[in-house]
């Protein structure tokens, strides 16, 4: 079981000082991984809580890679249809290279109509574009030479492929995860509701040659009561979770760091 934290990169909590301090605190505490969200174009009538301020996830992870040493860095999740495949593959490879192989690639197909209009991408093609992008990523990391729009090119640096996690609900997200050999990041974290789709995903993944697919659940653990937090994590693990991302509000970097230390103690109990 791996335990991670969700880092806010929006609103007042997305300052250089706040983001950097929180990431270093999680790294020093021994938390396994850190995840950040993706929004690219928030409309004025949907900006409550963020004021429309969101940091770009790939740029942020590249910056954090140079300010941390051990913690893995994840997109939770990167919306594939918003970005052209080749520059995005290059950014991902660069982060993976310069972080020393610490990137975790969570991906999704998106949902917000306003964002699709802003980037000029038809929302109805989001699934097809995402599959095309993932197929291109796979080819980029499979060999030094790859073709893009009919042009042969060298894809270097070519580090190890970041672990893939497909976000979203079953069956669409699970089918995509099976197809591309990745893990699954379900919507929600109710073990009773997830037990059946997780079991089906595990069977389908094994049949496709991925016998131990990862399951990432975003949830809030009780870090104030270690015994209760351990029990919560064990319940989620029994449902199939291999990673839990702790996501709760925090007012400042000190509070975040304290929560990270308590989360790391829960993680130590689970190992």
pLDDT digits (tens, 9 = 90+) for 33-62: 999 999 999 999 999 999 999 999 999 999
Q: What is the pLDDT at residue 210? A: 97
Is the pLDDT at 216 greater than 90, yes or no?
Answer: yes
What's the mean pLDDT in 218-238?
96
Structural domain for 110, as ranges: 2-270
Three-state helix/strand/coil letters over 32-98: CEEEECCCCCCCHHHCCCCCCCECCHHHHHHHHHCCCCCCEEEEEEEEHHHCCHHHHHHHHHHHHHH
Q: How far apart (Å, rounded) are the C-alpha atoms in residues 74 and 31?
A: 13
Q: How far apart (Å, rounded) are the C-alpha atoms in residues 169 and 197?
A: 9
What's the mean pLDDT in 104-123?
97
How do residues 166-207 score in pLDDT, each as one tens digit? 999 999 999 999 999 999 999 888 999 999 999 999 999 999
Q: What is the pLDDT at residue 188? A: 87
How do residues 58-94 score in pLDDT, each as one tens digit? 999 999 999 999 999 999 999 999 999 999 999 999 9
Number of domains forming the structure of the chain? 1
Q: 264 near 32, Cβ under 8 Å? A: no
Q: What is the pLDDT at residue 271? A: 86
Position 256 confidence tier, pLDDT thresholds 50, 70, 90? very high
HSE-CB for 105 with a 13 A CA cutoff: 23
Q: 199 near 139, Cβ under 8 Å? A: no
Q: List the CATH number of the domain containing 123.
A: 3.20.20.30
């Amino acid at each position: 079981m791996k335990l991670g934290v969700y880092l806010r990169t929006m609103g007042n909590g997305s300052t250089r000082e706040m983001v950097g301090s929180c990431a270093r605190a999680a790294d020093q505490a021994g938390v396994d991984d850190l995840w950040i969200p993706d929004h690219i174009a928030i409309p004025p009538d949907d900006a409550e809580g963020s004021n429309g301020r969101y940091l770009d996830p790939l740029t942020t992870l590249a910056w954090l890679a140079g300010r941390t040493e051990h913690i893995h860095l994840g997109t939770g999740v990167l919306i594939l249809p918003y970005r052209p495949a080749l520059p995005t593959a290059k950014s991902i490879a660069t982060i993976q290279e310069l972080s020393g192989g610490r990137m975790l690639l969570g991906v999704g197909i998106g949902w917000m109509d306003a964002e699709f209009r802003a980037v000029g991408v038809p929302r109805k093609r989001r699934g097809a574009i995402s599959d095309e992008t993932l197929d291109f990523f796979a080819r980029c990391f499979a060999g030094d030479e790859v073709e893009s729009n009919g042009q042969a090119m060298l894809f270097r640096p070519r580090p190890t492929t970041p672990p893939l996690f497909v976000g979203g609900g079953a069956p669409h997200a699970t089918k995509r995860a099976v197809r591309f050999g990745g893990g699954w990041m379900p919507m929600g974290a109710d073990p009773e509701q997830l037990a059946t789709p997780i079991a089906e995903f595990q069977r389908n993944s094994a049949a496709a040659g991925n016998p131990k697919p990862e399951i990432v659940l975003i949830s809030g653990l009780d870090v104030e009561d270690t015994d209760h937090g351990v029990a919560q994590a064990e319940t989620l693990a029994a449902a199939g979770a291999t990673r839990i991302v702790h996501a709760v509000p925090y007012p400042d970097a000190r509070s975040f760091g304290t929560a990270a230390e308590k989360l790391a103690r829960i993680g130590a109990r689970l190992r």
